[in-house]
Amino acid sequence: MGLFNLFKKEAKNSQIVAVCTGEYVPNDKISDPMFAQNMMGQTLGFEPADGTIAAPCDGTIESIFPTGHAFTIRMTDGTGLLVHVGIDTVKLKGEGFTLLKKEHDKVKAGDPVVAVDLAKVKAADLPTTTMIIVAEPVEGKSYNFIDYGPVTAGQQISR
């Protein structure tokens, strides 16, 4: 019985959750071809309804851009994820972004990592589409996700 609980716990810790409340969208709704065509890895797009961007999994933040527009996180199962907030938002040079976590912080799925002023991003005429990229998949592991539609930050999206 203990062995089954161990596997159940491990599976839970390797789940991916929505990074924001909003809409989980198909890749053809992502305006940047680099992300839309999965050039950096399997990509999931979200249209955020508010400015809180959360950790997509349990793990450790390996890097976080000082501008707040992107961060990487290593899942407890070894998967490397990139979260990119908006498209071309690096151009804002951090304006409208507040870091809530720092490099090497351990996080739980759904913990807030970055706060972004979506109105400021939109005023700069930049898309707010936020992506999770499976940049470093674990060999032999498949990554499957729920159907597109409304999501809540912290909601499990992996199957």
Q: What distance in Å separates the CA atoms of residue 2 and residue 14, rounded to the nearest whole number?
A: 19
DSSP SS3 for 145: strand
Q: What distance in Å separates the CA atoms of residue 81 and residue 62, rounded to the nearest whole number?
A: 10
Q: Is 104 annotated in the active site? A: no
Catalytic residue of the set 48, 58, 84, 134: 84
Q: Which amino acid is at 1?
A: M
The residue whose two tokens read 């700069």 is 124
Q: Output the furthest CA–CA distance in the chain (Å, rounded).
A: 56
Q: What distance in Å separates the CA atoms of residue 6 and residue 17, rounded to the nearest whole number?
A: 21
- Kindly tell me the burial class for residue 42, based on how many C-beta atoms sit within 10 Å of its own C-beta (0-12, 13-18, 19 or more): middle
Which residue numbers are catalytic?
84
